[in-house]
Amino acid sequence: MTDSPIDNPVQPEHRVQIEYCTQCRWLPRAAWLAQELLTTFETELTELSLKPGTGGVFIVRVNDEVVWDRREQGFPEPTAVKKLVRDRVAPEKSLGHSDK
């Protein structure tokens, strides 16, 4: 017996990419942010990747849209990134104390 589309609706794919500078040794920061996002959006995200880069880059993308760029906004607080991700992948989701 196969699942019908009604029994198993197709969920939209939501991908997050964190591009970080290897020269600056920002992997731990990127990995920590990735862990925060995966914990918060464990059912909403279909993929989260870490992309090594150079030149001081630290960029967060959701479905290929840049939502945070360190060069323009400084380093993000996890709460700020969670709100930006939530607005794109699960607008109805409460972030609890992070929403305040």
Q: What's the full length of the chain, in residues?
A: 100
pLDDT in tens, the chain (100 residues): 454 445 545 578 999 999 999 999 999 999 999 999 999 999 999 999 999 999 999 999 999 999 999 999 999 999 999 999 999 999 999 998 666 5
Q: Which two tokens stand for residue 33?
A: 């942010």
In this predicted structure, what is the pLDDT of residue 1? 46
In this predicted structure, what is the pLDDT of residue 96? 82
For the chain, give percent helix, strand, coil, nearest 5: 35, 25, 40
Following DSSP, what letter does each residue of 42-90 receive, concatenated? Answer: TTT-SEEEEEEE-SS-EEEEETTEEEEEHHHH-SPPHHHHHHHHHHHH-
In this predicted structure, what is the pLDDT of residue 9? 57
